[in-house]
């Protein structure tokens, strides 16, 4: 049996900005009522849950934190129907977009949490995940706001706790300071090993990377930096 999951040690600071920007389109609003309840992960407020119960037959379990509009999540799910994709996103318009992608593509291997990924992480047992993917999280570029970044010492330790031995963590950002910040914290996290051996390993997108509309906007101050880690 898994040992009880201790409460998270991070503070209440949000690592994300706005939750909603515009009125949901009628179709997306309808999907919140019809589709989301059928594919939502168990409510972490109700206690620990094991994602392996959602993925029978030993399927891999991937977690994407902050999936934006859901293009990456949906494409990875379509490419890997043998894996369960769990996506967390607090931005309701993004959740609505992801629901549309899921419905249109008839995806059966996606589960969503319309809220803070840290809630879901804290409710999972050790070594529950095969992959964790964090693509272009809110950079909080001002120094006084850096404490709001998703990647902190505590969250890095959570990623290591949740990954199986040999599991993979991918972090992508187009802000140089955040890349340096994240790399420093990941390198200090016991159990995580940086996979880079040459500059192209962080400058060139991995072969299975999916470019999203956000990435194409080039809103950061550098070309995307791809940091890939393995769980020892």
Catalytic residues: 138
Q: Residue for token digits 């992508």? A: 172
- Among residues 64, 51, 70, 43, the alpha carbon closest in space to that of 150 is found at 64
Residue 214 assigned ligand-binding role: yes
Residue 130 assigned ligand-binding role: no
* Cβ proximity of 64 and 84 under 8 Å: no
Residue 184 assigned ligand-binding role: no
Residue 212 assigned ligand-binding role: yes
* β-strands 83-88, 60-65 pairing: parallel
For CA atoms 183, 164, 161, 129, the dihedral sign is: positive
Residue 116 assigned ligand-binding role: yes
Residue 75 assigned ligand-binding role: no
Residue 215 assigned ligand-binding role: yes
Rounded to 10°, the helix 92-105/71-79 angle is 30
Residue 25 assigned ligand-binding role: no
Residue 43 assigned ligand-binding role: no
State the greatest distance between any 2 C-alpha atoms of the chain, in Å, as a whole number.
Answer: 48
Q: Alpha carbon of 132 to those of 117, 167, 218, 226: distances in Å?
A: 11, 8, 23, 13
Residue 174 assigned ligand-binding role: yes
Q: Alpha carbon of 92 to those of 68, 84, 222: distances in Å?
A: 9, 22, 28
For CA atoms 72, 208, 185, 223, the dihedral sign is: negative
Q: What gap in Å lies between CA 130 and CA 60, rounded to an integer?
A: 6
DSSP bridge pairs for 84: 61
Q: Which residues are annotated as a binding site?
A: 64, 89, 116, 138, 142, 174, 212-215
Q: Which residues are annotated as a binding site for substrate?
A: 142, 174, 212-215
Q: Which residues are annotated as a binding site for S-adenosyl-L-methionine?
A: 64, 89, 116, 138
């Amino acid at each position: 049996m898994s040992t009880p999951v201790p409460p998270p040690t991070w503070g209440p600071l949000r690592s994300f900005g706005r939750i909603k920007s515009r009125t949901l389109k009628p179709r997306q609003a309808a999907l919140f009522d019809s589709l989301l309840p059928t594919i939502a992960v168990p409510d972490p407020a109700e206690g620990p849950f094991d994602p392996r119960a959602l993925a029978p037959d030993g399927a891999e379990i991937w977690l994407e934190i902050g999936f934006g509009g859901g293009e990456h999540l949906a494409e990875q799910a379509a490419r890997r129907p043998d894996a369960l994709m769990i996506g967390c996103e607090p931005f309701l318009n993004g959740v609505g977009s992801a629901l549309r992608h899921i419905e249109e593509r008839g995806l059966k291997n996606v589960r969503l949490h319309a809220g803070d990924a840290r809630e879901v992480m804290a409710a999972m047992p050790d070594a529950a995940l095969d992959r964790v993917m964090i693509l272009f999280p809110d950079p909080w570029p001002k120094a006084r706001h850096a404490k709001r970044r998703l990647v902190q010492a505590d969250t890095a330790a959570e990623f290591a706790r949740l990954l199986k031995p040999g599991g993979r963590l991918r972090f992508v950002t187009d802000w140089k300071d955040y890349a340096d910040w994240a790399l420093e914290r990941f390198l200090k996290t016991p159990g995580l090993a940086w996979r880079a051996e040459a500059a192209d390993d962080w400058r060139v997108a991995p072969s299975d990377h999916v470019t999203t509309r956000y990435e194409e906007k080039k809103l950061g101050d550098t070309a995307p930096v791809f940091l890939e880690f393995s769980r020892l």
